[in-house]
Amino acid sequence: MADSSEFKTSVLNLIDLSSPDIGATVSLLKQACLDSGFFYVINHGIDRKFMDEVFSQSERFFSLPLEEKMKSLRNEKHRGYTPLFDQINSDLSDPGNQTNGDYKESYFIGPEISEDDEPGANRPLRGPNRWPSSGTWQKAVARLIALALDLTADFFDKLELMGTVRLLHYGDEISQPDKGMFGTGAHSDFGFITILAADVFGLQICKDKDAKTQVALIVNLGDMLERWSNSTFRSTLHRVLDTGRERYSIACFVVPHYDCIVEC
Ligand SMILES: O=C(O)CCC(=O)C(=O)O
Ligand SMILES: [Fe+2]
């Protein structure tokens, strides 16, 4: 992949979930899905104060001593803490270009399912965690995506879309792409869509470079949706370059329920 200086900044399409003009919104979203697979969403209904609080709790957690954080190491249900350079060897985001693992630590949170919930808690990736997350506006985005694919608006409604939240913390290093050192190596996301909020610039998408904002959320399509749309919609490579400033971001990976059959 090229050095960061070769990238140009470009504007992503802005999807306003409160717009009464559904036709215009769907066509803007479709253009983004065909082009870069990335777009902003505004008027998503997530309170700014709540978002600030999540960033501040994230900062509190990551500033704990390492031994404290290691007490909640990621478990087999994919919940909990992952330290610096957690993704190594075959698990690297971008094995062809990366020398170390990602220069970031993170904390995974899934939907809250109690241990007593049978058979719910026995399913892969389901179980209890300390900070439950829930959301319905991702359904509104899924409805626009269905319309953009010329399907009925409720096509994805039955999928029990589930979000896994990942709090991310990047230190004050500066990435060195020529030495294979990145905050997050280049990758595409595996699922349906990913929703992203970040406090500091640093995310790059392979087509263009991206800007940050806490008011608009960034949505990007995952590999599953690329496949589901017979490769007409794009799941785009992206990476994070450390700029020398500490950075916090929150990613929510949205996927359908585990037994969902993807038919194209
Ligand atoms: O931290 C970011 O801004 C992006 C992280 C990311 O792409 C991911 O976790 O899949
Ligand atoms: Fe990603």
- Measure the CA–CA gap between 78 and 108, rounded to whole angstroms: 7
Among all chains, which residue has been given the structure tokens 């799941």? Answer: 235
Report the pocket of ligand 1 as residue ranges, CB < 6 Å: 166, 168, 184, 189, 196, 198, 203, 238, 240, 249, 251
Neighbours of ion ligand 2 (CB under 5 A): 189
Q: Does the model's ipTM exceed the 0.95 cut?
A: yes
Residue 33 vs residues 49, 66, 159, 171: alpha-carbon distances, Å: 30, 40, 20, 32
Going from the Cα of 252 to the center of ligand 1, the distance in angstroms, rounded, reads 9
Q: Which atom of ligand 1 is nearest to the CA of 238?
A: 7
- The token pair at 92 is 């690297």
Compute the radius of gyration of the chain from its Cα atoms: 18
- Measure the CA–CA gap between 187 and 164, rounded to whole angstroms: 18
**Residue ranges per domain, the chain?**
43-255
Nearest CA to ligand 1 atom 8: 251
Q: Which atom of ligand 1 is nearest to the CA of 104?
A: 1
CB count within 10 Å of CB 155 equals 15
Nearest CA to ligand 1 atom 9: 251
**In angstroms, how far is CA 150 from the centroid of its own chain?**
25
Full pLDDT tens readout for the chain, 264 residues:
344 445 556 678 999 999 999 999 999 999 999 999 999 999 888 888 888 998 999 999 999 999 999 988 988 888 889 999 887 655 777 777 888 788 999 999 887 676 666 665 566 656 555 443 445 677 888 999 999 999 999 998 888 787 888 999 999 888 888 888 889 988 899 999 998 988 877 788 766 434 444 467 899 999 999 999 999 999 999 999 888 889 999 998 988 887 888 888
Instruction: Assign 3-state DSSP to the chain and report helix, strand, coil percentages, each to 5.
Output: 25, 25, 50
Pick the CATH number of 43-255 from 3.40.50.620, 3.40.630.30, 2.60.120.330, 3.30.420.10: 2.60.120.330
Q: Are strands 38-42 and 14-16 parallel, antiparallel or unpaired?
A: parallel
